[in-house]
Structure 1
């Protein structure tokens, strides 16, 4: 099987979503918790067969997926919450529970803040440090008090937030000054 497929390509029944749309919107309002199975996978997200709603198709789009996560596979069981309805194509928008557990943590970091982290990679441009689940920052060579060779992967270290770029989802770090 290919990495990507449409719901009808996996031996699953494709529901008649159009005729059941009014009822689907009524019983699955925004905020409803759901569970279901992934029945299709595309580069833009996954399609879900929603438990107890045989004529409803959910779509979890990647624009809501944290950058450190991967799309669930066809057949995988997931949970989530209804976040929108699309009348034009009869889809129920879902944000997956596992994605909300890894929500974007970037906004909680502020310039000047000193935090602890673990070295994840030593590169020619500097040291990458994991600050939280799904959040890494870069200490460029110019921001290091010691040569990069003196650090090792897995090492704990304190760093100071020098810049947070929300558009590029990047954090620039320095070693804190005494």
Structure 2
């Protein structure tokens, strides 16, 4: 899309800065993300909204369907991430407006601590265990059980930067 063909939209998007709060209404949920019709600024010439939220930016928590997080017509307040000059849209984050459950977990839990959790996914190299609301860790094989099983695990590593928790099964 050529910014010169849509100078009003280009000028609006070029003024936005990282972290700027932006409010609007969810206009459409597509297979690749969510469009938001912003309260401020011009309409988009082709898309249902100038704002766009990719699925990873919807929530800190795992979800299977974006409609579990937002609905068309819902009011949202987001943070501006970047101006996507190719699509002439404002890339937004909904999760940036919410507390990160991982950081609270990392503040409260120490390596070596024993926790109870529920297996959320079994993969060839181990199992994912939900050890706190919105926080999953990986325990390597041998598998501890099946999806939904309650298990006891020990925290072996907490990587704040990569938001990863390593676990080991407690027999």
What value does the CA root-mean-square deviation take over the aligned residues?
4.1
Deviations 1:119-177 (A, max 9, x none): 467x8x99864322222346679587xxx7xxx75x8x5x312467999x67443228x
In structure 2, relative to structure 1, the CA distance for the partners of 1:62 and 1:119 (3 Å cut) is closer
Name the count of aligned residue pairs.
Answer: 148
TM-score between the two structures when normalised by the length of structure 1: 0.59
CA distance in 1, matches of 2:62, 2:96: 9
CA distance in 1, matches of 2:131, 2:97: 18
2:47 equivalent to 1:59: no
1:49 corresponds in structure 2 to: 37
CA distance in 1, matches of 2:26, 2:130: 31
| 8 A contact 2:22–2:78 mirrored in 1 | yes
CA distance in 2, matches of 1:120, 1:28: 42
Determine helix, strand or coil for the equivalent of 1:20: helix
Larger Rg: 1
Query: Which segments of 5 or more consecutive residues in structure 2 lack a partner in the other structure?
Result: 45-49
Correspondences of 1:1-178 after superposition (within 5 Å) = 18-55=6-43, 57-65=50-58, 66=60, 68-69=62-63, 70-71=65-66, 72-96=70-94, 98=95, 100-101=97-98, 103=100, 105=102, 108=106, 112-119=111-118, 129-137=129-137, 153=150, 159-162=153-156, 171-175=166-170
Deviations 1:50-106 (A, max 9, x none): 11324360111124344514522211111110000011211101011x465264728
| 8 A contact 2:111–2:158 mirrored in 1 | no
In structure 2, relative to structure 1, the CA distance for the partners of 1:108 and 1:81 (3 Å cut) is same
In structure 2, relative to structure 1, the CA distance for the partners of 1:29 and 1:173 (3 Å cut) is same
| 8 A contact 1:120–1:130 mirrored in 2 | yes
